[in-house]
Amino acid sequence: MSETHTETVKEHAPASADSHPHGAAHGPASPGTDAGPGAGGLSLPERIYVVEVVRGLAITLGHLFRNLLFPGRFRTIQWPELPRPLPQRFRAKHRLNKWEDGHTKCTACMCCATACPAGCITIVAGEFSKPLVKVDAGVTKIIEKYPTLYDIDLLKCVYCGFCVEACPCDAIKMDTGKFPRAGYSREDFLWQNRFKDGLPTLERNAAEA
């Protein structure tokens, strides 16, 4: 009887289009006011309304029973017990890559901090006491620098992923699948890393589950 209902009918029952053709225009269709036949594009059964009520009730009851009998059909995700399935290239919280022996891959080149549009990366560079020699894909690398401090303020970070693209040594990744949840202070959202001779001495996780 109301306009909303007319649209519901159109949506849910395309088969009814041939049995009750409503005109193209169902403009100011107010069921009580239009007395003339076909006024407002409503057919007779639609104007009697009771028939349409019963059809609507049938639709809702159908949904009810389908959901009752096939509980697996729900699309609801049981968060937080079940995390939402993330897309493959989802940019989540950062991770610093390591060599097999535990040394950080980061060379404190500042590329990420430079690329960062939010300016949330803080790096303090340090020097190895003895340069690190690594063979990567057949190329021998002599690494002299490492970050003594590598902090990311996750409240500033916009998760754009520029740091990952800028990194020349594949040291920073955003593939953890975690993202910060709630915290009680700004410090909770500061992701802190400290290194000594390229080995991590402290990693304080920012607020995450």
Partner 1 sequence: MEVISSLILVIGRPALMWFLLLNLIPLMIWLERKGSAYIQDRIGPNRAHIGGLRLAGMVHNVADVVKLFTKEDIVPSHVSRGYYIAAPFVAMTVALMTYAVIPFADAVVIGKKSFPMQAANLSVGFLYILAIASLGVYAVVLSGWASNNKYGLLGGLRSSAQLISYEVSMGLSLIGLVMAFQTVELNDIVRGQGELLFGFLPKWGIVIQPLAFVLYLTCAFAETNRNPFDLPEGESEIVAGYHVEYSSMKFALFFMAEYVNILVQGAIVTTLFLGGWQVPWLPTAVLKRHLDVVLPLLAMGTTVILCLSFVILRRYDLANRTRWQDARRREGLWLSRLSLAGALAFLILSTVFVKWPVDSKGGWPSLVVGMDRALHLLPGGVRGAIEQLLYWKGWGGVFTALVQFSAFVTKLLLVAWLFIWVRWTLPRFRYDQLMKLGWQVMLPLALANLVVTGVVYFVQG
Q: What does the binding site for partner 1 look like in residue numbers (CB under 8 A)?
A: 1-2, 4-5, 8, 30-33, 50, 53, 56-57, 59-61, 63-64, 67-69, 71-76, 78, 81-82
> Is 82 or 135 the residue whose CB approaches partner 1 more closely?
82
Instruction: Report in angstroms how near the CB of residue 52 gets to partner 1 at its nearest.
Output: 9
Instruction: Report in angstroms how near the CB of residue 67 gets to partner 1 at its nearest.
Output: 4
> Is 31 or 180 the residue whose CB approaches partner 1 more closely?
31
> Is 8 or 122 the residue whose CB approaches partner 1 more closely?
8
Got the DSSP string for the chain? --HHHHHHHHHH-TTHHHHSPPPS--TT--TTT--STTGGG--HHHHH-HHHHHHHHHHHHHHHHHHHH-GGG-----TTTSPPPPPTT---S-EE-B-TTS-B------HHHHH-SS--EEEEEEEEEEEEEEEETTEEEEEEEEEEEEEEETTT-----HHHHH-TTS-EE--S-------SSGGGGEEEEEEETTEEEEEE--S--
Instruction: Report in angstroms how near the CB of residue 86 gets to partner 1 at its nearest.
Output: 16
> Is 35 or 135 the residue whose CB approaches partner 1 more closely?
35
